Amino acid sequence: MSHDLLSVGDLGADGIDEVLQLTDSFVEVSERAIPKVPALRGKTVAWLFYEDSTRTRLSFETAARRLSADVMNFSVASSSVKKGESLRDTVQTIEAMGVDAIVVRHRSAGAPWQVAKWADASVVNAGDGWHEHPTQALLDCYTIRQHLGSCEGRHVAIVGDVKHSRVARSDVLAFTAMGAEVTIVGPPTLLPPSLEGWPVAVSHDLDSVLPKVDIVYLLRMQRERMASGLIPSLREYTARYGLTRRRVDRLGEDALVMHPGPMNRGVEIAADVADLPRSVIVDQVRNGVAVRMAVLYLLLGAGSDKVLTGVEGAS
Amino acid sequence: MSGFVIRGGTVVDATGTRRGDVAVDDDGTIAAVGEGLEGGDVVDASGCVVAPGLVDLHAHLREPGREEAETVETGSRAAALGGFTAVVAMPNTSPAIDCASVVREVLDLGRSAPCDVHSSGAITVGRAGEQLTPMAEMAELGVRLFTDDGDGVQDAGLMRRALEYASGLPVPVTLAQHCEVAALAAGGHMHEGEWSSRLGIPGQPAESEELMVARDIVLSRLTGMRVHFQHLSTGVSVDLVREAKRRGLAVTAEATTHHFTLTDAEVASYDPLYKVNPPLRPDADVAAVRAGLADGAVDAIATDHAPHTQEAKEQAFDEAPPGMLGLETALALALTELDLPIEQVLALLSWQPAAIAGLSDQHGGPVAVGRPANLCVVDPTETWTVEPTASASRSRNNPYAGRTLTGRVRHTFLFGEPVVLEGDAQR
């Protein structure tokens, strides 16, 4: 892996594969009675979160702690940013404290690229606006590999609000890099204005897509979309694009149901569908920790050219 | 006659091109034009084009209110270095230029500037799009161009009344429009299309500009008033204006240097340096803007010089303000990027915008005896590399850093005063 993880597309098939293979070992670590290794002892990982995030932050934090890294939290309340220092000044402040990696979540697309420009530390994109969420895509690939052997030749339907989804953008890049076929499904108002250059098929008819896919990947449907007139109502959205029990019957026998969380039960996914054995949503969360351990390890661990900022303990 | 002689150049103005020296009198007017002129000091112009000074219809000088980004003085110096002898300052200052007192302040600041500073006036109070400004009292102070630039006048009824009201003023004025339908553009930080979709940056569609261009063309027909379209950036906008002109409507248009030079692909860097409004567009639009400049659909090249501090541009892309510098690079970009003869480039940068701004009595030539010596001397073959830190502007948001351009301003004369000599500002 190179110095930063900004776009999952930068990894390519080989890079993704490297992460997935290493994830196997960290899944094993996570299953131990004491799920902790000293691999990153003496390294410091900082969270720079410009947007509320509980799940991703906890997952990264757990990953870092299981690798024995020190963690530092720099959460910027969404309201106080504009009157405060520039992004560059914030980055330099964090760097001055001596960190090896900065995990960035920002509500603006591209912010991690700017952070990487100004920081010497490794930068991990933990979600930037509508743009990308690389570690989510990696854990999705891992989960598919875990259940179906590999992504190669699989057909994934990504359903819902693709336009505003960083998960969808990263998943499209990762799934197609790994040899999967992707169909995005949703009302035209929730698809990107242009799909020029996207290696995907497009459908507005979920029912006709379901029998053909190995994975149905549901995106979170946010209530704001209704207020801004992109859909008439959640009820109509659910009627056309919700994964109801009836629709599950159209899926192939081994087809998986995935969701990046948090779910709106009863909107994009029916409550009972979320709990079916074919739904691997909890596995996604579990694998998230191991995948993020792999990413941090590849960026900061053995083979990294980073200078230690602290005293390296004996492992 | 004492004064000085600009010797050895080729004079280019609206009347044509000819070899000639230009003698400038002590009173700042042109005393003689012709070959082999003698007398006074000599300013070398060999190998250069001597032309009427350039006129920018669209500069943000930021004063009053945002002096940390630019002042009338620093912006004017950048203008003079770029060969401009007149600029029209946009009204989106703080407070907005929407009444006589603010116009007076800007004009006062401009009195000692190395460039002739003209103030625009807002169409609506506070540029809020609700109530007409006192256009007559501003026109009395010399304002000839009214615009809410930074925003378009959203209410078609209000825009109609603005045009009708302006038609009754004692002096001819022009209403200029920043074309952007807010309902379509809202929340968009770049051109909506292939790149915005890929980059995950909210976009604004070309149609948000085009819809207002179309609206104001029909309002021009309705009211019989001239409308000037600012910073056109899309192919359809250019087509609409071309067609309106074909039908004999009194419309004019400008395009900026960046809209014929840069595309939205630059935004892939996520560098807010490339954030501007209207946004950078795809290749096809860039080509259409160039074609419009070539065939006369677009009358003027404007800079939309929009300084911003380093801090402001070191935010995330969607949080940074739009705008880029342009005064010092405009002529060179036009000469380098546009496949047009220098005569046509100068028409687009000097006498045509001078006419739109109502400044033809003093700016834009012709280079003739008795006219004010507002002149620029350009070496059309000199190449130079853009170095943002060398700018006279207070700001550094220059998207052309490191570019090599052909064509450089050697001297600029403002009412006979050499304000730039050999590329150096004299004050």
Q: In this predicted structure, which of A231-235, B8-12, B203-207 has the lowest mean pLDDT?
A: A231-235
Min Cα separation B385/chain A (Å): 24
Chain B residues with a Cβ under 8 Å from any Cβ in chain A:
192-194, 196-203, 205, 269-271, 311-312, 314-319
Q: Do both A225 and A160 map to the same domain?
A: yes
Please report the pLDDT score of residue B198 as a whole number: 97
Residue B304 annotated to the active site: yes
Which of B340, B302, B345 minimizes the C-alpha distance to B324?
B302
Would residue A307 count as lying in a domain? no
Average pLDDT of the segment spanning A102-120: 96
Would residue A63 count as lying in a domain? yes
Average pLDDT of the segment spanning B65-83: 98
Q: In this predicted structure, which of A81-85, B92-96, B132-136 has the lowest mean pLDDT?
A: A81-85
Q: How confident is the model at residue A78 (pLDDT cuts 50, 70, 90)?
A: low
Please report the pLDDT score of residue A308 as a whole number: 32
Mean pLDDT for chain A?
Answer: 91
- Structural domain tally of chain A? 2
Which tens digit of pLDDT belongs to each residue from A248-290? Answer: 999 999 999 999 999 999 999 999 999 999 999 999 999 999 9
Min Cα separation A107/chain B (Å): 9
Q: Compute how many other C-beta atoms are within 10 angstroms of the C-beta atom of residue A227.
A: 9
Would residue A306 count as lying in a domain? no
Please report the pLDDT score of residue B2 as a whole number: 64
Instruction: Tell which A residues from 21 to 80 touch B, by Cβ distance under 8 Å.
Output: 50
Measured between alpha carbons, how far is B153 from B127 in angstroms, rounded to an integer?
8
Please report the pLDDT score of residue B321 as a whole number: 97
Which tens digit of pLDDT belongs to each residue from A130-147? Answer: 999 999 999 999 999 999
Q: Do both A147 and A203 map to the same domain?
A: yes
Q: Record the tokens describing residue A98, joined without a space.
A: 């001596």
Please report the pLDDT score of residue A310 as a whole number: 30
Q: Which residues of B touch A166 (CB under 8 A)?
A: 200
Average pLDDT of the segment spanning B2-6: 89
Residue B119 · residue B89 · CB < 8 Å = yes
Please report the pLDDT score of residue A51 as a whole number: 87
A66: pLDDT strictly greater than 60? yes
Contact: B316, A169; criterion CB under 8 Å: no
Q: What was the ipTM of the complex prediction?
A: 0.91
Q: Which residues of B touch A113 (CB under 8 A)?
A: 269-270
Instruction: Give SS3 for B369.
Output: coil
Q: Which residue of A has its CA nearest to B268?
A: A110
Which H/E stretch holds residue B342? helix B342-346
How do the domains of chain B map onto residue ranges? 4-50+369-425, 53-356
Q: Which residues of B touch A192 (CB under 8 A)?
A: 197-198
Catalytic residue among B149, B216, B304, B379: B304
Domain that holds residue A247: 134-284
Mean pLDDT for chain B?
Answer: 97
In angstroms, how far is CA A225 from the centroid of its own chain? 21
Please report the pLDDT score of residue B100 as a whole number: 98
Which tens digit of pLDDT belongs to each residue from B5-44? Answer: 999 999 999 999 999 999 999 999 999 999 999 878 999 9
Residue A27 · residue A152 · CB < 8 Å = no
Q: Do both A147 and A280 map to the same domain?
A: yes
Would residue A92 count as lying in a domain? yes
Instruction: Give SS3 for B82.
Output: coil
Q: Which of A114, A128, A136 to mutate to test the interface with B (most CBs of B within 10 A)?
A: A114
Would residue A313 count as lying in a domain? no
Would residue A236 count as lying in a domain? yes
Please report the pLDDT score of residue B21 as a whole number: 98
Q: Do both A147 and A278 map to the same domain?
A: yes
Contact: B201, A110; criterion CB under 8 Å: yes
Please report the pLDDT score of residue A77 as a whole number: 61
Q: Do both A79 and A183 map to the same domain?
A: no
B261: pLDDT strictly greater than 60? yes
Which tens digit of pLDDT belongs to each residue from B169-183? Answer: 999 999 999 999 999
Measured between alpha carbons, how far is A305 from B27 in angstroms, rounded to an integer?
69
Measured between alpha carbons, how far is B343 from B117 in angstroms, rounded to an integer?
25
When CB atoms are compared, the residue of B194, B203, B205 closest to A196 is B194
A2: pLDDT strictly greater than 80? yes
Average pLDDT of the segment spanning A220-229: 84
Q: Which residues of B touch A131 (CB under 8 A)?
A: 199-201
Please report the pLDDT score of residue B218 as a whole number: 98
Q: Do both A296 and A266 map to the same domain?
A: no
Residue B20 · residue B10 · CB < 8 Å = yes
Q: Which residues of B touch A92 (CB under 8 A)?
A: none
Domain B53-356 matching CATH 3.30.70.141: the answer reads no
Please report the pLDDT score of residue A76 as a whole number: 75
Domain B4-50+369-425 matching CATH 2.30.40.10: the answer reads yes
Would residue A180 count as lying in a domain? yes
Would residue A311 count as lying in a domain? no
Q: Do both A187 and A240 map to the same domain?
A: yes
Please report the pLDDT score of residue A206 as a whole number: 98
Measured between alpha carbons, how far is A311 from A142 in angstroms, rounded to an integer?
34
Which tens digit of pLDDT belongs to each residue from B393-410? Answer: 999 999 999 999 999 999
Output the domain CATH number for residue A48: 3.40.50.1370
Contact: A114, B202; criterion CB under 8 Å: no
Q: How confident is the model at residue A74 (pLDDT cuts 50, 70, 90)?
A: confident
A82: pLDDT strictly greater than 80? no
Position A278, amino acid: R
Q: Record the tokens describing residue A143, joined without a space.
A: 């989960």
